Amino acid sequence: MLIRQLVPSDALSFQALRLSGLKETPTSFASSYEEEVHRSSDDIERQLTKQDDRGVFGAFHDTQLIGIAGLGRENHTKLRHKAFVWGVYVAPEQRGRGVSRVLVSEAIRFAQSVPGITQVNITANACNDVAIRLYSSLGFKQFGLESGSMIVEGKRYDEVHMSLHFEPR
């Protein structure tokens, strides 16, 4: 398995896997399939353009993209010590092989390499015990539960908020 930061030329593979995730597990993402299906390739390429303090990481089996995880950084000056992991998804046939662990670990490692970042936040649907256990095993601690965080097909879902703190670089 190869893990690397995605680049603009990965846009089609990224979008296809992302849309699969949004369709398959809509309660795992704040965004929806309907919101993202019509994103332009230019927009996705911009999102995958390398930046010093954010990025999208991909796991590859041979040349096929099988998993993704994004890392963003807060934009406000007072919040720039924080980053957040978003969009963690692994193709169903690749689950149970540690792909999510490697992807989230890579996002953490990247965040730790960025001067000024001392905290990484992540959220998970409160029903997603597998994700919560994974994030806990990587050192994230729960700091909140947002009741009714999202509504999908008329049903409310709670979200667990977790944080990982580390010393500045």
Q: How many residues are present in the chain?
A: 169
Q: How many CB atoms lie within 10 A of CB 104?
A: 25
Q: In one letter, which amino acid is 56?
A: V
**42-96 residue pLDDT tens:** 999 999 999 999 999 999 999 999 999 999 999 999 999 999 999 999 999 999 9
95-136 pLDDT per residue, tens: 999 999 999 999 999 999 999 999 999 999 999 999 999 999
Residue 66 belongs to domain spanning = 2-165
pLDDT tops 90 at residue 36: yes
What confidence category does residue 167 fall into, taking pLDDT thresholds of 50, 70 and 90?
confident
Whole-angstrom distance, CA of residue 140 vs CA of residue 57? 19
Does residue 168 have a pLDDT over 90? no
Mind listing the pLDDT tens digit for each residue in 1-23? 899 999 999 999 999 999 999 99
CATH of the domain at 9: 3.40.630.30
The pLDDT assigned to 24 comes to: 96
- As for how many domains the chain has, the answer is 1
